[in-house]
Structure 1
Amino acid sequence: MKLQTGLIHIYTGDGKGKTTAAIGQGLRASGNDLSVYMVQFLKSSNTGELRALEKVENFSIFRFERPRGFFWTLSDEEKAELQEDIDKAMEFISSVITNSDCDVLILDEIMGAISNNLVCSEELASLLKSKPEAMEIILTGRNAPENLIEISDYVSVITPLKHPFESGIPARKGIEY
């Protein structure tokens, strides 16, 4: 099966579940024999979804970043290294789009890379506009820029009404990561 018309999705907002929603869409696509690539930004630790998705046919995860702390904890030298890693990821994404290497392309936490001035939203918008007709693209992360919202077909804003962190419950393995 191939898609006839691929669209662009955004999962954004301050709530939990943006990556989970994108993975769910990817699993649905994979279950229908579509190939899924997920490129993760600003994530270098081992997570439950990585281990689970290794077992799923047609679903490949790509990470270009070396393990390091959160962006705001990085030295200038580490930020320069991170920029190099992000540039490699963007070159890969450009190649995937140009060569139609997958049916569904997930750019997980791309909005975080944009917010930290590691990816230019105008360049990303231009790249998205050049996507093959039959490729579905999903973007995740907080603070989606207006120019990306404008060119997207689906935009879901995930807003927290209540979160256990507010009650002092830390992130739990298997639930939050």
Structure 2
Amino acid sequence: MAKETKGLVLVFTGNGKGKTTAALGMALRAWGQEMKVLVLQFIKGGWKYGELIAAEKLGPNFEMRQMGEGFIKDTGGNGLEAHRAAAQKALVQAAQAVRAGEHDLVILDEINYALSYGLVDLKDVLEIIKSKPPEMHLVLTGRNVADEVVELADLVTEMREIKHPFAAGIPAQKGIEF
């Protein structure tokens, strides 16, 4: 029986923890199947997250680019403009990578946040999705996914928070959150 490759558009969204983690698990699975993986992080930046250290060790078929300025919280004026400029640069790289078709799996980590904060335009994100080569898998993560993105997706999973250690005053834990 011949195996047919149909590149999927997958979305991990919701208020619960695990969106990036799910995408990275998928990336590790794809890499294990000798697929070429690219992860572009739209918001994360400035920290040396554990996944960055791991990606460096996985070799040339697993590339992760931290493109953001870090978490957005009460950012106004020039601070928001720095986030917007970084997100626009990430968007250009995403469009180029998707159109080039050199990767089997491309993850646009936290792109839904970038959309909901107005750092990138919905029409540009939709164009990237529509320009995806037929055999490429494309993953979009982050809260507040746009209805138009959901409509184009093949799979949408919503992470729902039931309980989180932050509520009990437990800080972010190495190896779990970073």
Farther off after superposition, 162-171 or 39-48? 162-171
Contact kept, 8 Å, 1:12 with 1:18, in 2: the verdict is yes
Q: Out of 76-85 and 135-144, give the one that drifted further.
A: 76-85
Q: How big is the shift at 1:78? A: 2.6
RMSD over aligned CA atoms reads: 1.7
CA distance in structure 2 between the aligned counterparts of 1:22 and 1:144, rounded to whole angstroms: 15
1:122 shift after superposition: 2.6
1:111-130 mapped onto 2 (5 Å cutoff): 111-130=112-131
State which of 62, 65, 77 in structure 2 corresponds to 1:59: 62
Residue 105 of structure 1 and its aligned partner are, at CA, apart by 0.3
Q: Share of identical aligned residues, percent?
A: 39
Could you say if the C-alpha distance between residues 155 and 55 of structure 1 is closer, same or farther in structure 2, counting changes exceeding 3 Å?
same
C-alpha distance after superposition, 1:4-42 (max 9, x if no partner):
210100000111111010000000000011100000011
Does the Cα contact within 8 Å between 1:103 and 1:135 map onto a contact in 2? yes
**8 Å contact from structure 1 (residues 122, 147) kept in 2:** no
Aligned residue runs from structure 1 range 74-113, under 5 A? 74-113=75-114
Give the secondary-structure state (helix, strand or coil) at the position aligned to 1:9.
Answer: strand
Change (3 A) 1:3 1:104: farther
Is the contact made by 2:116 and 2:144 (CA closer than 8 Å) also made in structure 1?
A: yes
Alpha-carbon distance in structure 2 between the residues aligned to 1:77 and 1:153:
37
Moved more, 82-91 or 143-152: 82-91
Q: Which amino acid aligns with 2:171?
A: P
- Greater displacement, 103-112 / 118-127: 118-127
Separation in 1 of the partners of 2:83 and 2:102? 25
The residue aligned with 2:49 is 47
Structure 1 residues 143-152 or 165-174, which shifts more?
Answer: 165-174
| Residue of structure 1 in register with 2:135 after alignment | 134
Q: Secondary structure at the match of 1:71?
A: coil
- Structure 1 residue 89: deviation in Å? 1.1
Quote the Cα distance in structure 2 between the aligned partners of 1:15 and 1:101: 32
- Structure 2, unpaired ranges of 5+: none
SS, match of residue 58 in structure 2: coil
Distance 2:165 2:83 in 1: 31
TM norm structure 2:
0.91
Give the count of matched residue pairs: 174
Cross-structure match for 1:72: 73
Change (3 A) 1:3 1:109: farther
Identify the residue that residue 172 of structure 1 maps to in structure 2: 173
Report how far residue 75 of structure 1 moved. Answer: 4.4
Distance in 1 (CA, whole Å) between partners of 2:26 and 2:147 is 23
